[in-house]
Structure 1
Amino acid sequence: MQRTMLFGKTLGGLCAAALFTLSALNAQADQLEDVKKSGELVVGTELQFAPFDFLENGKQQGLNAELFKIIGDELGVKIRFIDLPWPSVLPGLEAKKFDMVAGPIIVTQARKERYDFTLPIAESTVALLKRSKDESLAKPEDIAGKAVGAGKGSAQLQELKNFAAGLPEKVAIREYVDNNQAYADLAAGRIVAVANSLPNISYVASQRNVFKVVEPPFGKKSYFAYLGRKDADSESLIDAIDKILLKMHQDGRLAALQKKWLGMAMEVPTTDFEPAW
């Protein structure tokens, strides 16, 4: 009798513990709910990535600021951006220092395995920026044997390395934590080109006539998107943002932001897709 009672108590205790654990997991399994309760969506970014994010007279400007304002209004929360050097952004997301990353970031196969991406918000095919008066770079292949810069830890850097590997002469690739440092070295002649996504360098060239885009882009067609952690509690937040982005795509608000900040409306996938690289 005593053994039966003890077994009953033990089983009851295990059931209670299991229910408690399940309840605790459920309570933590909805990031969207947590964000709405706090009234704030915290977003990691780098404010040196025009035209998506940059500072002008000490104030954040760019496509991200306007697009996340819409997201915040739709979700009923405030947006708080945390500005970090790019190499610190993804580690900060994984350490849960913020809810998601603005970037935006090129969607790749490897990154999709590690992070949960939103729908794309722009095309991100990689191209080269050169000095306007440099006639030695008529096409991307002309960087063979020369020094070229790209963002440290970026997908654009990897695409540059892949492209350079197929050229007849070695390309001296220099990595920069800050894109503005790369553009400064380009202007000073310390490198002959900077590899970045077409929207970024097109914007830089439009603002500074000392620079020019090398046509055509050399990278495979790719897309920019925002991202969050790849875990169960983050799915609700990314799903909610996808619904907002899809609505913006359908009613023309996304195209309007693209035209304003990127110079053109861009066709982007409206469903999940397989990246080209």
Structure 2
Amino acid sequence: MTFSKMLTSALAGVALLALAGPANADQLADIKAAGKIVTSVDMHFTPFGMVVDGKYEGLNKDLFDEVAKELGVEPVYQDIPWPAQLPGMEVKKFDIVTTAAAITPERLERYAFTLPVVYAPVGLIRAAGNNDIRKPEDIKGKVAGAIQGSTQAKKLRAFSDEIGGVDIREYGTIDEAYADLVAGRLDAVAGTLPILAYLVTKRPESFALLEPAEIGDPDYLAWVGRKDEDSASLMKAIDDAILKMTDDGRMKAIQEKWLGTYTELPREVPTK
């Protein structure tokens, strides 16, 4: 073979390698090599996540801090509004979403979910002084709010269809919905029931739960990752950490700390 032919063959091989891209890409290996895992959170979902005296804390943080320890890396939390989190994760702005999201069949088609980290049906609250609304059916013909693009908004729309119509407003953050509820611009807010129950215990002068508070089928919440081969090892490692925390009592202790109670969670990702 002549030198020119050898050079041409070598260059062709390099081109093929470049087109093939990196072999055996593995998100978990990359995270461990970097020594950190970057996650998006919404720090406006007390008691799951909040800022107190300038520091992020809550149930999600306590749980994921323990998971990061099991992975041997440092967690890096980025405060991002919920509507931007899943799109941001898909384009790899961060490694995983740890704003716990409802596991739904539609989301399972597009994303990978960890094992559930909390049981959280959708609930409704009203302003404490609004005695015209007591039970969920009383919001017929009224104005109710929920987070834009959330499972809570979806279930609120389904409930609206069921009872004959609700004027639904969607918000970028739950705090905006709470503010409009207090100001009288909303009659009710749909949200994750443990969050709403915590809010009512802290601010009974402003908010009250409807009785019963739940609407729709119950939900389990989990963290969300990318649904690709590169991410499979990371999601398995997180699931293994969650199971270890469940078995050694850390999951129970953290739930009781923030929710005042413990609910045993499925050891597999629910598919319905």
Q: TM-score scaled to structure 2, two decimals?
A: 0.91
Please tell me whether residue 226 in structure 1 is matched to residue 223 in structure 2.
yes
Please tell me whether residue 147 in structure 1 is matched to residue 143 in structure 2.
yes
Shift of 1:195: 0.1
Q: 2:23 aligns with which of 15, 22, 25?
A: 25
Distance 2:14 2:267 in 1: 44
- What SS is found at the alignment partner of 2:191? strand
Structure 2 matches for 1:236-251, cutoff 5 A?
Answer: 236-251=233-248
Structure 2 matches for 1:194-273, cutoff 5 A?
Answer: 194-209=189-204, 210-216=206-212, 217-273=214-270
> 1:187 corresponds to which residue?
182
> 1:38 corresponds to which residue?
34
Please tell me whether residue 50 in structure 1 is matched to residue 46 in structure 2.
yes
| Residue type at the aligned position of 1:222 | D
Structure 2 matches for 1:75-224, cutoff 5 A?
Answer: 75-168=71-164, 170-209=165-204, 210-216=206-212, 217-224=214-221
- What SS is found at the alignment partner of 1:104? strand
List, as ranges, runs of 4+ consecutive aligned residues in structure 1 with deviation greater than 3 Å. 12-23
- Determine what percentage of the aligned residue pairs are the same residue: 43
Shift of 1:219: 1.8
Structure 2 matches for 1:65-84, cutoff 5 A?
Answer: 65-84=61-80
Q: Which runs of 5+ in 1 are unaligned?
A: none
Cα deviation digits, residues 90-134 of structure 1 (max 9, x gap): 111011000000111001001011110000001121010112232
Distance 1:254 1:153 in 2: 28
Contact 2:113 2:269 in 1 (8 A): no
Contact 1:127 1:215 in 2 (8 A): no
Q: TM-score scaled to structure 1, two decimals?
A: 0.90
Q: Which runs of 5+ in 2 are unaligned?
A: none
Shift of 1:24: 2.0
Shift of 1:23: 7.8
